[in-house]
Amino acid sequence: MPPKQQISKAAKAAAAMAGGKKSKKKWSKKSHKDKAQHAVILDQEKYDRIMKEVPTFRYVSVSVLVERLKLGGSMARVALRDLEAKGIIKPVSKHSKQAIYTRATASE
């Protein structure tokens, strides 16, 4: 085995400085869900759409209205109370956190 070569202090320092130029690790960006742009003000167009489509739904809840009609949650709760008062939908289960309705059929 050949003898090790002696390296000067300056050469060691230069080698150490050259090795530290690696860029820092970039954390991978996770795909994020876009923020939903749901309506928070009830205009005539949304009201007409609610009155036309909701009576055809078999299962009606706040989450269904938010998902299908792109309404805000508070507006969906108000719409459900209004539809129930008009007799368009009837309650299946009412709870402080989740209300479930179904369409009111003509035979009932």
CATH number, span 37-107: 1.10.10.10
Q: Domain coordinates of the chain in residue numbers?
A: 37-107
Angle at alpha carbon of residue 84, lines to 101 and 91, rounded to 5°: 30
pLDDT digits over 65-104, tens only? Answer: 999 999 999 999 999 999 999 999 999 998 888 999 999 8
Q: For residue 22, is pLDDT > 70? A: no
β 99-103/89-94 pair status? antiparallel
The tokens for 91 are 């309650």
Of 45, 88, 95, give the one whose Cα is nearest residue 69: 45
pLDDT class of 44 with cuts at 50, 70, 90 = very high
Q: Provide DSSP, 80-93.
A: HHHHHHHTSEEEEE
